[in-house]
Amino acid sequence: MTRKPLVAGNWKMNKTTAEATDLAQQLSYRVDQAYEGVDILVCPPFTDLRSVYVTLDFDKSRIAMGAQNVYFEESGAYTGEISPVMLKEIGCSYCIVGHSERRGLFNETNDDINHKVRALQSHGITPLLCVGESLQIRQQRNALEFISDELRACLLGNPVAAADDLVVAYEPIWAIGTGHTATPEQAQDVCGQIREDLANIYSPEIAEQVRILYGGSMNEGNAALFAACPDIDGGLIGGASLDANKFMPIVDCFR
């Protein structure tokens, strides 16, 4: 089967509401029927979700919206947290989980992420699960084993029955925001192995359906190289997603 590519922008902690609305408008204006072959996703900060949703909805845009994090409980005394119920209501169809910045800066564990994946799935929100190794692990030549372990721990007991139940993003930590991308060969090696792992965890049929993205300093100059890799089905873009003139040429490489 052919998987529909997905290009996602992780805006991280950038864009005020006015700036986010402006960027959503610019993207929505450019995404016409010529983009039917690719899914496009933006993941703004929580405070921008409402205005970005209204902007995209008003334009009947094909661009989907996601969040960058979630807590796994539905409601209650969890000061500062946001639940999957809230994300669903505000119009999120995806949510990033397990980003290395959340793991590294906010001490998220595989176990936390496992709960988040389940909570999202049970509310019909597609988890965009990030995995990736540090430079030290890559230099020790343990990257493939590390990523397999991370993937299994985050997915343990979480069923995937259809393509929309999961997206995986391979984001080597040493490539994020550094300008040093993985080579297409390195990225393909890992993404190919993620697909094999998914075949073992679920089934070969499910592994063929789940989209696997590469993320880490992707830009308009290198995106085509990743798009040509058989197991890379799109990109998770940080810095270059903050400017429509930089994001759209990346989308163009995958459509």
Residues in contact with ligand 13P by CB under 6 A are: 10, 99, 171, 176-177, 215-218, 236-240
In whole angstroms, the minimum distance from the beta carbon of 200 to ligand 13P comes to 26
Give 148-212 as a DSSP string. Answer: HHHHHHHHTT----SGGG-EEEE--GGGTTTS-PPPHHHHHHHHHHHHHHHHHHT-HHHHHHSEE
Catalytic residues: 99, 171
CB of 203 vs ligand 13P, minimal distance in Å: 28
Residue closer to ligand 13P, measured from CB, 171 or 233: 171
Q: Which residue, 92 or 218, is less far from ligand 13P as judged by CB?
A: 218
Which of residues 31 and 218 has its CB atom nearest to ligand 13P in the complex? 218
Closest CA to 63 of 97, 19, 26: 26
Closest approach, Cβ 3 to ligand 13P, in A, equals 20
Task: Between 38 and 176, name the residue whose CB sits nearer to ligand 13P.
Answer: 176
- Which sign, positive or negative, has the C-alpha torsion 234, 238, 241, 246? negative
Residue number, nearest CB to ligand 13P: 238
What's the CA gap between 48 and 20, in Å, rounded?
6
Cβ contact 194:168 at 8 Å: yes
Distance of CA 120 to the CA centre of its chain: 14
Give the span between the Cα atoms of 208 and 198, in whole angstroms. Answer: 9
What's the closest the beta carbon of residue 171 comes to ligand 13P, in angstroms? 5
